[in-house]
Structure 1
């Protein structure tokens, strides 16, 4: 599928999703943009699949990669986490208490294997169909959640951060989380609120300078209030991404999601790829004084191909 595209420019961008408010009360805003931009004729998803994704905000693809591929990528994650030179790289985020590797960002530029995965038709054709355009990688990373001491992520919408701190105009982006370990209900699996992607949750508090240096370990600014989380959970409920290694979760940029700590012996690791539409390229941040580094939010918008 080859589609023409127009790059977003600051001159025609207004803030449709204001957040990081300095005062007053945060509100729940109705989403003004589609979730699914393509049609059944644009890719592998059928009409029923697209309707379900539009309703829930996420799709699970079981067995996206084979057991042999899982082992190959698992070995690659082991190589990256044990690379002593890489640990001093600013793209590596460590656990605040143990110092163990938590995430490696811009991993497609470090690993040829993961770069090829981002261009794999099994993924690329699906995200292009969902977004109705060519796409580029907004962000890539691998996440490690070791057994016994893996820390989770508090409830949040990725788009709230990408909008506020990176200048992503609209939630025309989709994340692909590929499990490299079995995901159980008890080892810190990702939780999502189905249907929450239709609501943009405003957050309070100004964005500190260089906020990414602390927020990648533990985010406190740009998270919804307990009141709003409670309201969303009451309306939408909570689902959890579980299943064998090799499964993938495709979810909308504005999906409310989070994960608990992993105190079990079973680690949980994944490859995380964020695809943004080439018609939704970044402008200046909407609620921050400066851009985050490119290894977190890429501004190279050449369409991905094989």
Structure 2
């Protein structure tokens, strides 16, 4: 499926001076068909309705072991720790995330092109795709801090210039996700509505928002209303599981006060028909290691 996009028209205004309205999403979550890839018709229908899909045993135990070793290698490398692409915990100083990992790890670059990922991303988005963002995430035991409720697309639209929510994220768990160690929570069906947020985007907002997001988050009233209507699900399961979720789904995570750490590989695929323009709600685009502007299709 193709769509004509006028990037000069802001279809999802946000970062307003006053509270706005809820915008009904006019774009689909699933752009392809069952014939286009590995998801069958039932899986696509469920993804369209809920905005997310959990696949257990997405990668093998041997692959989990190999990718875990790669994450530990990167986190222990002083050059990576001092790199501008690395984000540390606000309080503990431990590594929280490393961005643009396809540029610093051949193993993770190859994973982004693996047919298990690439075929599903192309099917969901109905086109060739490129990597909008990649990162590895760590949530250490006792010290890992979560993220407040938010829609990724709200940030990508306001600060990166992504025109419409035609992007999908894949989070691959390298540790078991329990209900109690800070696992990702999602509101099923919330991807159908765009929540406008209040507050002007500060200059270089990414420098602080990647540690603790305060701008571009919904109000407590919005969250209360949506949770009451839609409920909350959580991504739990063994290492090797994968969560595919729509760019506009409302999600968040709590702090990890258990001794059980979490880590995952996170890759965002965007349609080549939805490439970035100028930010819709920020003074300047975020750096390219956070919002990639090389739109070459993945092969």
- TM-score when scaled to structure 2? 0.98
1:1-306 equivalences under 5 Å are: 10=7, 13-22=8-17, 24-305=18-299
Instruction: Tell me the secondary structure at the aligned position of residue 244 of structure 2.
Output: strand
Cα distance in 1 for residues equivalent to 2:287 and 2:243: 26
Gaps of 5+ in 1: none
Pairwise CA distance, 1:141: 0.1
Pairwise CA distance, 1:7: 9.2
**Segments of 4+ moved more than 2 angstroms:** 5-10
Pairwise CA distance, 1:25: 1.8
Cα distance change, pair 75–7 in 1 and its aligned pair in 2 (3 A): farther
Instruction: Tell me the secondary structure at the aligned position of residue 78 of structure 2.
Output: coil
Deviations, residues 34-74 of structure 1 (Å, cap 9, x unaligned) = 11000001001111100000000000111110000000000
Q: CA RMSD in A?
A: 1.2
Residues 6 and 278 of structure 1 are in contact (CA less than 8 Å); yes or no, is this contact kept in structure 2?
Answer: no
Pairwise CA distance, 1:8: 6.0
Residues 9 and 283 of structure 1 are in contact (CA less than 8 Å); yes or no, is this contact kept in structure 2?
Answer: no
Cα distance in 2 for residues equivalent to 1:281 and 1:187: 35
Cα distance in 2 for residues equivalent to 1:300 and 1:204: 30
Cα distance in 2 for residues equivalent to 1:280 and 1:255: 18
Pairwise CA distance, 1:26: 2.6
Cα distance in 2 for residues equivalent to 1:7 and 1:269: 38
Gaps of 5+ in 2: none
Aligned length: 299
- TM-score when scaled to structure 1? 0.96
